Structure 1
Amino acid sequence: MFFDTTDLRDQEIYLRLYRTSDENIEKGYVPAYYFKIVRCVDDVEVGQCDLRIGHNDNTKYGGNIGYEIYESYRGNHYASKACKLLLLLAKKHKMDKVIITCAPENIASRKTCEHSGAELIGIIDRPTWHELYKNGQKKTCQYIVRL
């Protein structure tokens, strides 16, 4: 089910796999890869990201890709570079699209989506059952990258 990920690199960063998780039907979770985002030049971790494989109600509202860049490394487009690498992995899984979501007020994340080639589909309401809704995130920007 999971592919080799050692090729997920560009001239500036690489993604170092630190765990995978299998599908959890009860919770509505699809299989996922979890990576550290690492700079090639010095092997410093600058953030983390994940790719959730497949589509269901959770990915519709929470996305297929998640990312975080540690504060002192922000502003270098590491998140959008990582997203582009994750798109290569999504293609290996024969996904025809990838959904990326973010809070409407998170301008940096919205720019990351756009730099990654994602198209804003709209700002949608999360359903009350969704985990992120329960954490106070009632609306989300839904972006799509067609592969």
Structure 2
Amino acid sequence: MHLAPPSTVFEDIRVDFVSTTEGDHQRGFVPGYHFRILNSDGVNVGHVNFRVGDTQHVRLAAGHIGFGISEGHRGNRYAGKACLALAPWLATFNERVLITADPDNLASIRTIQRIGGVYLDEVDVPVDDPHYLRGSHRKARYLWNPSQVEQAEAGDHRSAGA
């Protein structure tokens, strides 16, 4: 696996590397990186994950990128900013990454569209996938090219030590 990036600042958030996760080949899970998102006050407001690899689970359910923002901190575009903060590093893995969302999760869909994700299609989640077992039966799929994030749109983007 690649080295994790240093803490990265983007506008009013910082993204810190937390850990890597091992894949589980039997279940179709790929290795990944877990990051936390901190607001300008240093409060942990959520997380973003990056999954490395290509399996049915990634293609039809999880995607390469997943994010979540704590309920009290939603509406501040933290998830999108975290993705943009990681874009240069993500581009060293893949030219394009797949991001999925439940079709009725409008906040996630708006986030994906704001960062430049392009709608592909909507697919059924396999019945044996953990997402299906948690109630997620369909996924809207988007392709995002992190290497095409323009600095003009990227705002204040630097390593935390800069």
Task: Judge same fold: TM > 0.5, yes or no.
Answer: yes
1:11-22 correspondence to structure 2 within 5 Å: 11-22=11-22
Q: What is the TM-score with the length of structure 2 in the denominator?
A: 0.83
Letter in 2 for 1:45: N
Letter in 2 for 1:12: D
Q: Give distance in 2, aligned partners of 1:49 and 1:92.
A: 17
Secondary structure of the corresponding residue to residue 59 of structure 2: helix
Instruction: Work out whether residues 53 and 90 of structure 1, in 8 Å CA contact, stay in contact via their aligned partners in 2.
Output: no
Q: Give distance in 1, aligned partners of 2:53 and 2:96.
A: 9
Q: How much has 1:103 moved relative to structure 2?
A: 0.7
| Residue of structure 1 in register with 2:97 after alignment | 98
Residue 108 (str. 1) matches residue 116 (str. 2):
no
| Residue of structure 1 in register with 2:53 after alignment | 54
Secondary structure of the corresponding residue to residue 122 of structure 2: strand
Secondary structure of the corresponding residue to residue 26 of structure 2: coil
- Percent identity between matched residues is 30
CA root-mean-square deviation: 1.5
Q: Give distance in 2, aligned partners of 1:4 and 1:90.
A: 10
| Residue of structure 2 in register with 1:138 after alignment | 137
Structure 2 vs 1, CA of residues 59 and 86 (structure 1 numbering), >3 Å: closer, same or farther? farther
Instruction: Work out whether residues 36 and 49 of structure 1, in 8 Å CA contact, stay in contact via their aligned partners in 2.
Output: yes
What CA deviation, in whole Å up to 9, does each residue of 1:55-83 have, x standing for no partner?
Answer: 22111021111111111111111111112
Between 1:6-15 and 1:119-128, the stretch displaced more is 6-15
Q: How much has 1:125 moved relative to structure 2?
A: 1.0
Q: Give distance in 2, aligned partners of 1:139 and 1:23.
A: 23
Instruction: Work out whether residues 23 and 29 of structure 1, in 8 Å CA contact, stay in contact via their aligned partners in 2.
Output: yes
Between 1:112-121 and 1:81-90, the stretch displaced more is 81-90
| Residue of structure 1 in register with 2:34 after alignment | 34
Q: How much has 1:20 moved relative to structure 2?
A: 0.6
Q: What is the TM-score with the length of structure 1 in the denominator?
A: 0.90
Q: Give distance in 1, aligned partners of 2:90 and 2:27.
A: 22
Between 1:130-139 and 1:1-10, the stretch displaced more is 1-10
4+ residue segments displaced more than 6 Å: none
Q: How much has 1:22 moved relative to structure 2?
A: 2.4
Letter in 1 for 2:143: I
Between 1:42-51 and 1:17-26, the stretch displaced more is 17-26
| Residue of structure 2 in register with 1:3 after alignment | 3
Q: Give distance in 2, aligned partners of 1:126 and 1:86.
A: 27
